[in-house]
Amino acid sequence: MVLLVLTAMTATAKILQPLINMSANVKAAQRLGEVARHMLLYAGKPADWGRNAQTIPEEFGLAETEASNPYALDIDKVSRLNSENIYGLSYAQIYTSLKAADLSFRIEIKPVFNVKVNQTATFEDSNETTYTFEVATEKDDGAPVSAVLKAYVLTENLLQALTIQNVDGRTSFNITLPKDLESPAVLVAFAKSTYNDRVVSYAVYSLTSSSGTTSKRGFLRLSPINHTLTVTPISNETILEKVYALTFNGVWQPTKTENHTFSIPASVDPCPTVLVAFGSHATQSFVEWTAYPQIPVEVGVDFTSLLSISDVYAYTSLVSVGRGIYKCTIFIGGLKP
Amino acid sequence: MKGRNSGQIRIIEAFLAIFIIFSAVAISANLPTKSPNPANDSLASIGMQALLQLDSDGSLHVYIASGNWSRLREALNLLLPAGVSFNLRVYDAQMRQINMETVSNGGFNSQEITLVKYVCTGRSPEFRCYVIYLYLAVAK
C-alpha cells in the first residue's frame, strides 16, 4: 500500500513538474512585459525630466507628458538615452530610477527601416569629381521598402539637394562636387515610406575632401535637448565654424542663442532634424553630425556578450517620437525563477 | 477478531483510494488546458500598436474610407515585424464586411492565430465607425 502511494506521488510530481515550471515562466514573462510597457507608457517622475538637462528622474518612464496617444515617447527623454549626449543618463541612473533591483535591461530605439548608402564609383576630371551612390531602403530582414528619398550634399559653403522617387527600395544617383573643396562634405539622405509618411529613416555618409582632410567624429559633442543644440568642443584648439539643420523639407542655419548653443525650431516634419557642424582642429577641418531626436539609440546591458544566468525576454513595440514612427525593443532579464 | 481488523483495513484502503482519485480529479481540473503563450500576447500587442500608430494621425480612417486596401496592406506590412502573417477584415457598425479585397500578406500556415479587435472612427465627411479584425500568426 505504502509503495503504491509513493509511486503515485512520484508519478504525479513528474507529470506536474513541467506544468508548474511553464506556469512560472509565463508569469515571469508577463511581469517583464509589464515592466517594458511601464517604461513606454509612464512619463516618469518628474514628468518633464527630459527637457531639464540637470534633472535625474526619480522614477523612469519615457512617455510624453500629457500624450494624446499611447506609445508616444518624449523627444528629449529619448535623446537623453543616447550616450553621445552630454546630458544623457547613465545605465546606473536609469537602473536606479526604474526601481526594479532584480532586473537588467537594454533599450533600443531605431527606425522601422534602414537607409543604406554605398559609394559605388568615383569619376574625376580636371575640375570636378563625380560620385555614384547606391541607396537601399530595407527592413532588418532585407525586405525592400518603397520610399521617397531626399538627399542633400553639404559642405561648409555649398549645398545640393535631390528628390528621388525610390519605388522598389533601391536606387542610384550621381553627385558632382568641385575638386577644390576646402571643407569635408556629407551626404544626408532622408527617406519616407511611400505608404505612410510617418515611417521615416535617414543616413549620413561622409565624403573625403580633395585637400586630404577627413570627416572624423570626435572633436565635438553634439547634444540636442529641449529644442536647443549644445556643442561642446573637446579641446581649446577646436574651432566651430558653421552649424546647419537639415530636414526632409529644407535646410537652414540654426540661430545662435549663446556661446556654442543653437536654437532648433520645432519641426512638423516626421523626419528627424539632422544637425551638421563644420569646424577645424589645429589644421584639420572636420564635419560632425547628430540628429534630433537622437535616434538610433542603444542603452543598457549587452546580453549577447554576457554569460547571463537569467532568461532574457525581448519586447518589440511601435512608438512615435515627434511625428515619426520608430521601433523600440526592450530586452529584460531577471533572475531565474 | 483478525477478520474484523482485515475488514477495517479494507475500508481505510477504500477511503484512501477515493481520496487519491478525487485529489487527482481536483488537481487536473485546475490545470490549464492550454497555457497562455507569451508569444501570442506579444503578437497581439504589436498588432494593436500598429493599428494605434496608423490611427493616431487619422491615416487608418483615410485608408478605409477611400477603399485604398493596397496602401493599408503595405503600411501594415511595413510596420509589422518580419515573419508575421496578417489578414485584416473591416466591418461597418452593423458588422457587414466592407473590404471585398483581401488585405493580407499571404496565407496562414500556423495553428496559432491571434486576433486583435480594434474600433476606428472618423469624422470626415461624416461620423463613421469601423470594427477591424486583425488576424496575426507567426509564419513558419
Same domain, B43 and B73: yes
Q: How confident is the model at residue A18 (pLDDT cuts 50, 70, 90)?
A: low
Q: What is the DSSP string of A24-91?
A: HHHHHHHHHHHHHHHHHH---BSTTTTTSTTPPPSB---BPTT-SSTTEE-HHHHHTT-TTSTTPPPH
> Which residues of B fall below an 8 Å CB-CB distance to A?
13, 16, 20, 24, 27, 31-32, 35-38, 41-42, 45-46, 49-50, 52-54, 56-57, 59, 71, 74-75, 78-79, 81-83
pLDDT exceeds cutoff 60 at A335:
no
pTM of the complete model:
0.85
Residues A287, A215: Cα–Cα separation, whole Å: 5
Residue from B104, B112, B96, B116 nearest B51 by CA: B116
| Domain tally, chain B | 2
Q: Provide the pLDDT confidence category of residue A35 given band limits of 50, 70 and 90.
A: very high
> Residue A76, Cβ neighbours under 10 Å: how many?
25
Residue A252 distance to chain B (closest CA, Å): 27
DSSP calls for B19-78: HHHHHHHHHHHHS-SSPPPHHHHHHHHHHHHHHHHHHHTTHHHHHHHTT-HHHHHHHHHH
Residues B58 and B123 in one domain: yes
A253 CB within 8 Å of a chain B CB = no
Compute the nearest-CA separation of A191 from chain B (Å): 14
Nearest to A112 among B31, B35, B79 (CB): B79
What mean pLDDT is reported for chain A? 87
My answer on whether B93 and B118 are in the same domain is: yes
Q: Compute the residue count for chain B.
A: 140
Asked if the Cβ–Cβ distance from A72 to B56 is below 8 Å, we say yes
- Cβ atoms of B64 and B100 within 8 Å: the answer is no
* Distance in angstroms (rounded) separating the CA atoms of residues A203 and A225: 21
Cβ contact, residue pair A315, B42, below 8 Å: yes
Say if the Cβ atoms of B42 and A33 lie within 8 Å.
Answer: yes
pLDDT for the residue A212: 41
Q: For the residues B120-134, what does the mean pLDDT come to?
A: 88
Are B45 and B23 part of one and the same domain? Answer: no
**Torsion sign across C-alpha atoms A266, A267, A270, A273:** negative
**B63 and B3 within one domain:** no
Arithmetic mean of pLDDT, A283-298:
92
Same domain, B7 and B63: no
What's the pLDDT at A285?
Answer: 87
- Please tell me whether residues B81 and B49 are part of one structural domain: yes
Q: Do B35 and A33 touch (CB under 8 A)?
A: no
Q: Which of A68, A143, A318 sits opposite B50 (nearest CB)?
A: A318
Residues of B in contact with A19 (CB under 8 A): 31-32, 35
Out of B31, B74, B81, name the one closest to residue A316 (CB): B81
Q: Are both B81 and B62 inside the same structural domain?
A: yes
Residues B121 and B55 in one domain: yes
Measured at the CA of A11, the angle between CA A5 and CA A16, to 5 degrees, comes to 125
Domain that holds residue B8: 1-35
Task: Please enumerate in sequence order all residues whose Cβ is within 8 A of that of A314, keeping only pairs 6 or more positions apart, or say none.
Answer: A329, A330, A331
Selected residue with higher pLDDT from A334 and A325? A325
Write down the ipTM of this complex.
0.82
Check A8 against B57: CB less than 8 A apart.
Answer: no
* B42, B15: one domain: no
Domain identity same for B18 and B70: no
Q: The domain spanning residue B102 has which CATH number?
A: 3.30.1140
Q: Is the peptide bond before A296 cis (omega within 30 degrees of 0)?
A: yes
Q: How confident is the model at residue A211 (pLDDT cuts 50, 70, 90)?
A: very low
Three cell numbers, residue A293: 531626436
For A299, phi then psi, to 5°, come to -140, 140
**The pLDDT of residue A55 is above 70:** yes
pLDDT at B70: 93
| Shared domain check, B51 and B13 | no
